[in-house]
Amino acid sequence: MVRGVGACLPERAVTNVELASRVDTSDDWIVQRTGIKQRYIAGDGETTVSLGTRAAARALASAGIAAADIDLIIVATSTPDHTFPSSASEIQAALGITQGVAFDLQAVCSGFVFAVTTADKFLTSGSHKRALVIGAETFSRLLDWEDRTTCVLFGDGAGAMVLEAVEGGEAGVIASKLRSDGRHRDKLYVDGGPSTTGTVGHLRMEGREVFKHAVGMVTDVIKACFAEAGITAEDIDWFVPHQANRRIIDASADKLGIAREKVVITVDVHGNTSAASIPLALDAAVADGRIKPGDLVMIEAMGGGFTWGAALIRW
């Protein structure tokens, strides 16, 4: 079951107007095409590990669980502090955790859905008891700040969830579907890496192509989750999609017949924070009282690879 959530954003918010002073864009274009009004950008000393550690500490506090009781840490990130060790190992040490296992999982924007699903499989197998699942990113450090087609879209941040194995009951992940198709690699990728250029590289995206595939892919896996759980769109209480683009979110909700008032939106204030976007949105909706114990929550994402997936969670 979900025991708690937490989040952490960098200190500095950057508005569209501020970006328009750096690249040839406008507040109007960004708001109309994406719904984004601002994003947070990490400053000196703010990293994936530091943001992820703070989000994780807040999730532990909200769960009322001690760091010493965590035996599994999965960090979904494509922007680790170092090529190795994993950000999960670094966060584990920062939290003073010395037991259990910690590893990173890389599925770009789908990372949090992949990580929640993976953690659930560990917990339901009985091998582990309490998991910290973290989505943490500093995409600002992968961006080509001269490229207006990508640099206006992304932001930095981290979110975390504590999951606990419980006997019986139906709380926690009740259905999930993960998919990948590497043939779409060139539509969204980073043009560097340790084994090729020896550099970090920059994010490259054919936005229109990604957009074209997004709605169909995510609605397919969501429908598969509905079928597995034996429910319909009307049964869910909250739809918490990956926050890439308001138009993709609205089109997906409409296609599935999910009422707009059940959709949690944070893309306006966070931008696209990749693997961090869903836990940031979950934290916001728990903090303001929308998501409550017993609610049925659908999370979904699609991103580089392509990767895509959905998970249905009884809160």
Active site residues: 109, 242, 272
Q: Binding of ligand UT7 at residue 223 (CB under 6 A)?
A: no
Whose CA is closest to 274, among 132, 124, 80, 125? 80
Residues 12-51 interacting with ligand UT7 (rule: CB under 6 A): 25, 29, 33-34
Site for ligand UT7 in 87-126 (CB under 6 A): 109
Residue among 45, 170, 208, 234 that touches ligand UT7 (CB under 6 A): 208
Q: What is the DSSP letter of 234?
A: G
Site string for ligand UT7, 267-306 (x = CB under 6 A): -----x------------------------------x---
Residues 6+ away with beta carbon under 8 Å from 277:
109, 112, 135, 157, 159, 242, 243, 244, 266, 267, 270, 301
d(CA 65, CA 170): 21
Among 133, 91, 92, smallest CA distance to 115 is for: 133
Q: Specify the stretch interacting with ligand UT7 by CB under 6 A; choose among 76-84, 156-164, 224-232, 242-250.
A: 242-250
Q: What is the C-alpha separation between 237 and 224, in angstroms, rounded?
A: 18
From the list 126-134, 193-201, 204-212, 257-265, the region that binds ligand UT7 by CB under 6 A is: 204-212
Place of tokens 């504590």: 162
| Least Cβ distance, residue 172 to ligand UT7 (angstroms) | 26
Does 179 participate in binding ligand UT7 (rule CB under 6 A)?
no
Stretch that binds ligand UT7, among 135-143, 147-155, 217-225, 252-260 (CB under 6 A): 147-155
For residue 199, the minimal CB distance to ligand UT7 (Å) is 22
**Lookup: tokens for 110:** 């789908």
The secondary structure element, H or E, covering residue 2 is strand 2-8
Least separation in angstroms between residue 280's CB and ligand UT7 is 13
Place of tokens 């994406």: 34
Nearest distance in Å: CB 31, ligand UT7? 11
With tokens 């770009």, the residue in question is 108
- Residues in the site for ligand UT7, rule: CB under 6 A? 25, 29, 33-34, 109, 148-149, 152, 207-208, 210-211, 214, 244-245, 248, 272, 303
